Structures are given as structure tokens and as C-alpha cells.
A and B are shown apart, each in its own frame.
Chain A
Amino acid sequence: MAEKEKAEKVVISGADAIACAVKLCRPKVLPMYPITPSTLVPERLSEFVFNGEMKAEMIHVESEHSAASALYGAYATGVRGFTATASQGLALMHEILPIISASRFPAVMAVANRTLSGPLNIWNDHSDAVSERDQGWIQLYCESAQEAFDTTIMAYKIAETERVSLPVMVCIDGFALSHVYEPVQIEGQSKVDAFLPPYKPHNFLDTSDPKTFGAVAFPNSFFEFHEAEEMAMQEALKVIPKVNEEFGKAFGRKYGDGLVELVEMKNAEYALIGMGTLVGTSRVVVEEMRKQGEKVGLIKLKCLRPFPKDEILQACKKLKGLAVIDRHASLGYEGALTIDLKAALKDEKVKVEGFVAGLGGRDIDVKRLRAAVETIMKGEKGYWLK
């Protein structure tokens, strides 16, 4: 089938949107081990490969551990790769994730966020990805199918920017986005090629220039390699907004400054902050409450790692209260996002309250989110928004 040169608007699921974007990014190796609710991604990609629409090697690996390992292998040979997973699948990849990032391979992976068992549950929350936030992967969360499509393309560009050279996780809420059909603008191949040039690896296995990969780093050097990763993460805080701007110029869509998006924050006294699809519902809450004269705003956190501390500080300076909606609980303390925000805003007057919500697919509806805002407006404590 010929490459589609023209952009077209289609109604597809969030997972389909990611698969379509991946196809346009031309990865050469696709190690896949399907797991609900990310399965639609490898399903579509295998169709593309089977139809000849995509020239890539799809490897049917025997576990997610192998999928991540093969992704490492693909990048070690100097080509672009891609995989998708969720929940226990991501947990099984855990061992390989920091190896990919420390190797500075700019891999891209989609995560259709699903809670971690047990009890066994296939539905959405952010426990899987948030549990991996310390592994040197940039984490971008999406609100819509269009954003999932766009973020996937941006992810390759961010990851492959020389001074970043870190892998990226593109996170979409399982079912709530992975299986929800929305209109998506699919861009033409030449336009995507112009935005994302062919991958130039900084290091790869080459018989004419042999190198050692995976060597031991003793206590006198390990620290420095991690320090280099941290410096790259800080660089990513500058590169992500740049790529977001470039994407906006090329395709006419961008997402806040690429790190956070501010909604009605100019004169807001109280605000909600969260990631993923709950942001869409929060928009409705903010709109409703604004109509009723309440000075309520919304911060959409698109990038969890690196954490955009300065942007958050700027946005929250004038607030009286911030309700953090965490689709994850660090059992024994608070939601991970709440912990990050309390640390970031420790010197500000704003009162930060955490609300754990939506665990294992529990709805986060307008009523619950409104209750969270009303709680902080009364100056009361955050709680589990069951």
C-alpha cells in the first residue's frame, strides 16, 4: 500500500491513534507482548506490518521482560524501536527499564495505564507507570486520542534530541482512552518525516568499530553515569517545550507548554491538578464553577518526569488551595503526585491537599472532582475520593 501523503480525519481509539503515529515514525523493530488494555496497539501494528504498510520486524517475544530486552537490543543495533504494555507487563519490564535509560537509548513505549494486581483488576489507574517514575524514563500523560497520536510523534523527537537521549513513556488511561473512539487527525507521511528526521544513533554495535556495551560501572563511576542522566532529565525540561512549539508550528496543535497546560489559572484562587483523562472531566468542573462565580482553575500535568517544578511554582504562586487528584496511592503515605507537589510548593502559601481517586477503574466523575474542590475551598483535608 502506498504511503498516505495527505492528512485525514478518522474516528479511532486512543490505542489506534498511537499505532498510527508509530507507523509514521518508522521504527524498525517492534518487540510485542500484548496485555490488556494495551493490546490494540500491537494488534494494529501487526496489521500494518502484515499489509506491507510498515517495514518493521515484529518480534513475538515470550514476556514483557523480553519485550523490553529486545527493545534494548534493537537500539543497540542502532535503529528506532517501539513497544507497548500495561500493568503487570510494565512491572515485569522493571528490571530492564533503568538499563535502557542508563544506556541512553531514546526508546519510546506506550503504556495503557492499568492498575497493578491484586486483587486482579484490568481497569485504569496510574499505579503501573507511577511506580516506574524513578527509572530514568520521561513520562508524558495524554488526555485525548489526538494528544496520544501527537505525543507519540513528539516523544521520538524529544528522546532522540542529542542532549536528552533518554527513553519516553507515552501514557494513556487504559479503556478510558485506549478504547475510546474519538476523531483524530492523522498526518501525512512526508510532514511527519520533515518533523522527525531519520534516527542517528550515538552508539551502536558495529563490527567495523567494535565497542563494549553493558560493562560494569564500579562505585567510582556509577554515580557519574546517574548524574549524567539527571542532567539529561533537566535538559528535557527545556527540550520538551521546544518540541511542543515545533510540533505546533508544523501541525497546528500543541499542549500547553508541553509540560503543563493551564486552564483558567489567571485569577484562580483554588485549582485542581491531575494527569490523563481526568483532566477532561476537570475542565467541565472548572467551567461549571466559573459560571457560578467561583475562582477555580485547572493545571493539567502532562509531564510527570522530569517534574516541571518551576512551571508549577509559577502557576500556583497566587493560589489559596490546590486539590491534587492522584490516580495512584503510595501505600503508607500519600499519592505520588501529592508528595511531589507538597515538596515543590513547600515555601508557598498555597495549601496542598491530596485526593486518591479512580483506583482500579473507579469513576472519577464531575461530582467527585467538585467535592474535592469544595473541600479545599472550606480549608478541609484531602481524602480518598471513593
Chain B
Amino acid sequence: MKKQKTKEQAQSGISKTCPGPMVFSKGAVISEPGSTMKYKTGNWRTYKPVIERAKCIKCGICWANCPDAAIKKDSDGTFIVDYDYCKGCLICDKLCPVKAISHGVEQK
């Protein structure tokens, strides 16, 4: 079935925040499987954790404990936050043994 955006959707700019499943198909059926991958949930965040690369000892504790699998390993082995999915729970901040992680309030 061909997917079409409705007029309301085009006007409201809904697709900007929700690019993936935001297609008004008949019966709410999504004809493109795996579309959830496009749905970024990072904008639910209130607090924003920031890893200070120089301090990180690459222990991986934040990576192992992030409930949203939102910490990734960078090419040089340091850990970085995937802000597309981080919910700002700050568990990583609490657990980092060398206090490489700090946080502030997300600016929206």
C-alpha cells in the first residue's frame, strides 16, 4: 500500500519529531518493517549527561549499566553518549568511578 502523509500531518510538522512511524496508513498498519529504528526518543530527556573524554578510563561501567543501551564505544575505545536515545536518568553519572561524567539540564 502506498504511504501518504495527510494534510494535517504536513501542516503540523509532526514528521520532524517523529520521522519513522508517522504515516497515517489505514488501520495504523506500518508497511515498512523496522521503522521504529527511525524513532528517536532522546527528546524525552530532562538531564543531559556529558562524558569528559580525557578523564574516561574506558572501564565500560556506564555502558554496562545504561538501561537504554544509549552508551556507545567510540573508535578510540572511549565511551560516548548516544543522544538520540539517552533518557537522562544519570545512572552513568552516578556510577562512573572517576567522575568523568557530569550533567546539566537539557536545553530545548
**Hey, what's the 0/1 contact readout for B2-37 against A, CB within 8 Å counting as 1?**
000010110010100110011011111111010110
Say whether A218 faces chain B, with CB atoms less than 8 Å apart: yes
User: B26: shortest Cβ distance to chain A, in Å?
Assistant: 5
User: A209: shortest Cβ distance to chain B, in Å?
Assistant: 8
Say whether B1 faces chain A, with CB atoms less than 8 Å apart: yes
**Which residue from A102, A210, A216, A220 sits with its C-beta under 8 Å from B27?**
A102
**Which residue from B6, B17, B33 sits with its C-beta under 8 Å from A210?**
B33
Whether B33 and A221, one on each chain, are in contact in the complex, defined by CB atoms closer than 8 angstroms, is no
CB-CB under 8 A for A102 and B14, given A211-B33, A212-B33, A221-B22 = no
Say whether A215 faces chain B, with CB atoms less than 8 Å apart: yes
Q: What CA separation (Å) do A210 and B33 show in the bound complex?
A: 6
Shortest Cβ distance from B14 into A: residue = A220
CB-CB under 8 A for A105 and B17, given A203-B1, A220-B22 = no
Whether A212 and B35, one on each chain, are in contact in the complex, defined by CB atoms closer than 8 angstroms, is yes
Residues of the B chain whose Cβ atoms lie less than 8 Å from the Cβ of A225 = 24, 28
CB-CB under 8 A for A202 and B33, given A220-B14, A220-B17, A220-B22 = no
Q: How large is the interface on B (under 10, 10 to 19, 20 to 34, 35 or more residues)?
A: 20 to 34
Q: What CA separation (Å) do A200 and B27 show in the bound complex?
A: 15
Whether A217 and B28, one on each chain, are in contact in the complex, defined by CB atoms closer than 8 angstroms, is yes
**Which residue from A202, A209, A218 sits with its C-beta under 8 Å from B18?**
A218
User: A109: shortest Cβ distance to chain B, in Å?
Assistant: 18
Shortest Cβ distance from A210 into B: residue = B33
Q: What CA separation (Å) do A143 and B21 show in the bound complex?
A: 45
Q: What CA separation (Å) do A216 and B12 show in the bound complex?
A: 19
Q: What CA separation (Å) do A105 and B22 show in the bound complex?
A: 21
Residues of the B chain whose Cβ atoms lie less than 8 Å from the Cβ of A209 = 31
Q: What CA separation (Å) do A216 and B30 show in the bound complex?
A: 10
Shortest Cβ distance from A223 into B: residue = B8
Residues of the B chain whose Cβ atoms lie less than 8 Å from the Cβ of A210 = 33
Whether B9 and A224, one on each chain, are in contact in the complex, defined by CB atoms closer than 8 angstroms, is yes
CB-CB under 8 A for A202 and B26, given A212-B35, A220-B18 = yes
Q: What CA separation (Å) do A305 and B14 show in the bound complex?
A: 31
Whether B17 and A224, one on each chain, are in contact in the complex, defined by CB atoms closer than 8 angstroms, is no
Residues of the A chain whose Cβ atoms lie less than 8 Å from the Cβ of B25 = 203
Whether B22 and A212, one on each chain, are in contact in the complex, defined by CB atoms closer than 8 angstroms, is no
Shortest Cβ distance from B12 into A: residue = A220
Name 6 interchain pairs, CB-CB below 8 A, sorted by A: A103-B27, A104-B26, A165-B27, A203-B27, A212-B33, A221-B9
Chain B interface residues (CB < 8 Å from chain A) = 1, 6, 8-9, 12, 14, 17-18, 21-22, 24-31, 33, 35-36
Chain A interface residues (CB < 8 Å from chain B) = 102-105, 165, 202-203, 209-218, 220-221, 224-225, 228
User: Known contacts A209-B31, A221-B24; can you find 16 more A-B pairs with CB under 8 A?
Assistant: A103-B29, A104-B27, A105-B27, A203-B26, A203-B27, A203-B29, A212-B29, A212-B35, A213-B29, A214-B28, A215-B30, A216-B21, A220-B12, A220-B14, A221-B21, A228-B24
For the complex of A and B, list the 4 residue pairs with the smallest distance between their C-beta atoms, beginning with the closest.
A104-B27, A212-B30, A103-B27, A203-B29
